[in-house]
Amino acid sequence: MKSRNTVILACACMAALLLTAASPNPQELNPQAPQEPVKLIFIHHSTGENWLADGYGNLGEELGENNYFVSDTNYGWGPDSIGDRTDIPDWLEWFDSDQTTAYMQALFNESDQHAAYTRRLADPGGENRIILFKSCFPNSELGGSPDDPPATYGDLTVGGAKFVYNRILEYFASRPDKLFVVITAPPVSSREYAANARAFNNWLVNDWLKEAEYTRKNVVVFDFYNILTDANAHHRYADGKIEYIAGKRDTLAYPSGDDHPSEKGSQKATEEFIPFLNSYYHQWVVDAPAAVVAEAGNTSALPQPTKEVPRAESQTPGGALIDDFEGSVPSGTDGWEVFWDESVPTRLRCEADATVAHAGSQALVIDFAIRPNSWATCNLLYGSLQDWSGYDGLAFYLSAAQAGLVFNVDLYAGSPDAQETYQYTIETPPDSVSGWISISLYWSDFHRVAWEEDAGAVFDHPEQISGLAFGLNTFPDTPNEGMIRVDDLGLIEAQPESPVTSQ
């Protein structure tokens, strides 16, 4: 625990302050459960575990009764055991770091339980759409002063905590397809930092989004802290609006022998939270997209396919089309072939399919379920080296079952005894779900894979193509499941060079 300067604050507080801060339009509130199951995940430690637990806070079971399919994270969860770290400064690692893409893919696809609560709903499939996250009670011992402005770095002070929440708001803005619910840290029994905790949580509820001029409906704050400070303190749906009543004290009013909230306090929070969440869910979901593309990032390298390509002289393709998937095998190949990590039960379907096509009657469907830390590829391998130097790159049409699916486009170049692999990573955007989108990748977009010599080198010898592939792998300890379709795979016609004019 870092040392802090003791803050003595004398203040006069109203016994009960009624507010409607950060509340939806009262005419639009709907405290009823969603009609269809909604996937929700809760990031927590011990207080959250108690809150979820049957016979303690009962939150898990009550959420299920309101049509939420609940999953959660706890100590030891996820890539890099990120579940161990839920203090306020740790939210920067979760939502504002180089690892955010990997952590979020794992979080959005988690469907297991890490606490003891009844879950009767069947998994409706797809990603978690609601993200609850909460720090534990030591995060109510914030240093600094109640009125401190946001600092320039994150730590366990009032200013440092404000900095953290301002930074992570940028990620939330990029994901309007997710509803992020901030659960404030519960209070402690000590009065030493109580004024700071109250001031910070008041800022979160009343000022955070206003100061940031944040207008999206996908971020909401539930003041778990306030509810637990007084029997008469509330944050709830009541009489057609969101009601906020601050009580007389700033410390824990529901102790359990230590600073974990008691069963009574946890159950009070559950009773108030469920209609509160329903109200904000209905406001958000009206305009929420089904999914959006997450922050792009390279995934870890795929293992090289083991099939050898015979040495041969280069041949120039007869046209710009590589494969329209209408039935004919591309000349000089055995058609599309599947390779995968045989040590795990990975599933990969890669074949022409007549269900949906961009043009003609068929497209290549790639339906996959890649186990964590594994890989698979859908390959087109040539019996002789292809000279594609008269073209500028690859082009194809893409359709996806959902946004945010990560796959690679791979190029293989050179003879079998010196084969090189180059790669470009794609994350499926939202418009690929509603229809077909055009993808154009130029040779300079491809870089040599990390496991080979000269990793990161730009691809520069299209006259030595031995094959290409659509590759699939995973973020650490995270599965990769979904389906994409590809149609009209071809080569980009080279653009004539502009003549050089002498001055």
pLDDT digits (tens, 9 = 90+) for 358-401: 989 999 999 999 988 889 999 999 999 999 999 999 999 999 99
Say which amino acid occupies 24: P
Q: Name the helix (H) or strand (E) containing 348.
A: strand 347-353
Cross-strand partners of 179: 130
What's the mean pLDDT in 111-129? 94
pLDDT tier at 99 (50, 70, 90 boundaries)? very high
By the 8 A CB rule, do 212 and 169 touch?
Answer: yes
- How far from 503 is each of 157, 218, 457, 496, 498, CA to CA, in Å? 63, 57, 35, 21, 15
The three-class DSSP label of residue 500 is coil
In CATH terms, the fold of domain 321-493 is: Jelly Rolls (2.60.120)
C-alpha span between 70 and 61 (Å, rounded): 9
pLDDT tier at 9 (50, 70, 90 boundaries)? very low
- pLDDT at site 498: 52
> pLDDT tens across 460-485, in order?
999 999 999 999 988 877 788 899 99
* Domain regions of the chain by residue span: 17-285, 321-493
Give percent above pLDDT 90 in the chain.
72
pLDDT tier at 499 (50, 70, 90 boundaries)? low
- pLDDT at site 6: 33
- How far from 102 is each of 70, 84, 105, 479, 490, CA to CA, in Å? 21, 16, 5, 11, 31
By the 8 A CB rule, do 445 and 424 touch?
Answer: yes
Retrieve residue 471's tokens: 């590759």
Query: b/e string for 29-54 if b means 16 or more Cβ within 10 A?
Result: bebebbeebbbbbbbbbebbbbbbbe
Picking from 403, 413, 408, 433, the residue whose alpha carbon sits closest to that of residue 423 is: 408
What's the mean pLDDT in 247-258? 91
Examine the pLDDT at 5 and tell me if it is beyond 50.
no
What's the mean pLDDT in 486-503? 72
C-alpha span between 352 and 341 (Å, rounded): 22
Retrieve residue 268's tokens: 């009070």
Cross-strand partners of 180: 131, 219
In CATH terms, the fold of domain 17-285 is: Rossmann fold (3.40.50)
Q: Does the pTM exceed 0.85?
A: no
- pLDDT at site 115: 94
Neighbours of 483 (CB within 10 A): 15
Say which amino acid occupies 302: L
- How far from 467 is each of 172, 277, 397, CA to CA, in Å? 40, 51, 19
User: Do the domains at 17-285 and 321-493 have one common CATH topology?
Assistant: no
- pLDDT at site 397: 94
What's the mean pLDDT in 157-169? 97
By the 8 A CB rule, do 92 and 100 touch?
Answer: no
Retrieve residue 59's tokens: 């939150």
Quote the mean pLDDT of the chain.
Answer: 86
Q: Which parts of 44-170 are beta strand (E)?
A: 68-73, 130-134
What's the mean pLDDT in 130-156? 95
155 DSSP assignment = S
Rounded to 5 degrees, φ, ψ at 372 are -55, 140
Q: Which residue has the higher pLDDT, 133 or 481?
A: 133
Q: Nearest 10 degrees: CA dihedral of 347, 351, 353, 359?
A: 130
- pLDDT at site 168: 97
Q: Which residue has the higher pLDDT, 16 or 217?
A: 217
Neighbours of 218 (CB within 10 A): 23
Examine the pLDDT at 212 and tell me if it is beyond 90.
yes
> CB-based contacts of 423: which residues, under 8 Å, 6+ apart?
301, 302, 408, 409, 410, 411, 446, 447, 448, 449, 471
C-alpha span between 394 and 28 (Å, rounded): 49
Longest dimension (CA), the chain: 87
Identify the sign of the CA torsion 15, 21, 27, 29.
negative
What's the mean pLDDT in 141-159? 95
